[in-house]
């Protein structure tokens, strides 16, 4: 979906986008296989190879996205902005945390902490951004008018709200590793210490909820009342 959207709001060619899909998918598949083989007792170099391939695949994805964003066509939808948010989230979740969490004893350290959940949540929020970008583009195309269907407000609320919430969640995960697994604090003491961070995280998630509500309202107000496909 991501590469297909690039061909809709930029001047990149479909052949170039298709090659990008093959490259990123191949690298991701190979790195996934290497990660799966490592715990089974295979040679340790597989873990190091996966640590190289994972960030490379996401960097290639980011590079393709940057080229498309730099060479936009006349399309006025906010789909490119949502794609940029998704790529940033995937770089953080898959490219960085995904690489770190596969090395040495780190999987054992992060197991059962918020840091592991944060990695998954980065990817899920990135997927949500892709879906919102797809809806944004398709609604613009079906409406027959080359203008935005939703405004910038929901974009900023969802992007910054979820981004800050995820960073706070990752910080809580690091604190859990340090206090619980290194200093052996009691869980009850930790729960008290992280209350301020949890409150800030809830506020950020409330901002996301407001952004989703504004997005839905804007989409409903400017929904396609008659279908006129534009290219």
Query: Per residue in 157-214, pLDDT tens?
Result: 999 999 999 999 999 999 988 888 888 888 888 888 899 999 999 999 999 999 999 9
pLDDT for the residue 42: 59
Give the residue, 90 or 113, on which the prediction is more confident: 90
Structure tokens given for 24 = 């990123």
* 40-95 tens-digit pLDDT: 555 566 667 777 788 888 888 899 898 888 888 888 888 899 999 999 999 998 88
What is the Cβ-side half-sphere exposure of residue 41, based on CA atoms within 13 angstroms?
0
pLDDT for the residue 160: 96
Reduce the secondary structure of 167-214 to three states and give it as a string: HHHHHHHHHHHHHHHHCCCCHHHHHHHCHHHHHHHHHHHHHHHHHHHH
Q: Are 159 and 220 in contact (CB under 8 A)?
A: no
Q: What backbone torsions phi and psi does residue 138 show, to the nearest 5 degrees? A: -65, -35
Whether the predicted pLDDT of 102 surpasses 80: no
* 138-160 tens-digit pLDDT: 888 777 777 777 889 999 999 99
Helix (H) or strand (E) holding 11: none
Give the residue, 224 or 128, on which the prediction is more confident: 128
Name the DSSP class of 10: B
What is the Cβ-side half-sphere exposure of residue 98, based on CA atoms within 13 angstroms?
23
pLDDT for the residue 94: 84
Residue 26: which residues within 8 A CB-CB, separation 6 or more?
Answer: none
Q: Are 69 and 84 in contact (CB under 8 A)?
A: yes
Inter-axis angle of helices 45-70 and 2-9, nearest 10: 20
Whether the predicted pLDDT of 231 surpasses 80: no
What are residue 191's DSSP bridge partners? none
CA–CA separation, 74 and 214 (whole Å): 25
> Across the chain, what does the average pLDDT equal?
84
Whether the predicted pLDDT of 224 surpasses 80: no
Rounded to two decimals, the pTM is: 0.84
CA–CA separation, 206 and 75 (whole Å): 31
Whether the predicted pLDDT of 27 surpasses 90: no
Mean pLDDT of 20-41: 77
All domains of the chain, ordered by start, with CATH? Answer: 2-221 (1.20.210.10)
Whether the predicted pLDDT of 38 surpasses 90: no
């Amino acid at each position: 979906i991501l590469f297909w959207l690039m061909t809709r709001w930029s001047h990149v060619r479909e052949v170039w986008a298709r090659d990008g899909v093959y490259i990123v998918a191949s690298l991701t598949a190979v790195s996934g296989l290497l990660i799966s083989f490592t715990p089974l007792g295979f040679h340790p170099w597989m873990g190091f190879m996966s640590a190289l391939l994972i960030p490379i695949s996401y960097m290639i994805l980011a590079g393709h996205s940057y080229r498309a964003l730099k060479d936009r066509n006349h399309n006025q939808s906010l789909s490119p902005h949502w794609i940029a948010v998704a790529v940033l989230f995937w770089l953080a979740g898959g490219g960085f945390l995904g690489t770190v969490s596969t090395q040495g004893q780190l999987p054992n350290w992060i197991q059962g902490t918020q840091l592991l959940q944060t990695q998954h949540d980065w990817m899920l929020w990135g997927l949500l951004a892709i879906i919102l970008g797809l809806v944004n583009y398709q609604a613009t195309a079906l409406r027959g008018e080359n203008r935005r269907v939703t405004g910038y407000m929901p974009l900023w609320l969802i992007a910054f709200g979820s981004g800050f919430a995820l960073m706070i969640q990752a910080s809580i995960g690091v604190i859990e590793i340090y206090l619980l697994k290194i200093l052996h604090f009691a869980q009850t003491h930790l729960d008290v210490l992280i209350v301020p961070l949890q409150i800030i995280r809830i506020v950020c998630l409330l901002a996301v909820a407001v952004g989703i509500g504004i997005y839905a309202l804007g989409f409903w107000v400017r929904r396609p009342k008659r279908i006129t496909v534009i290219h």
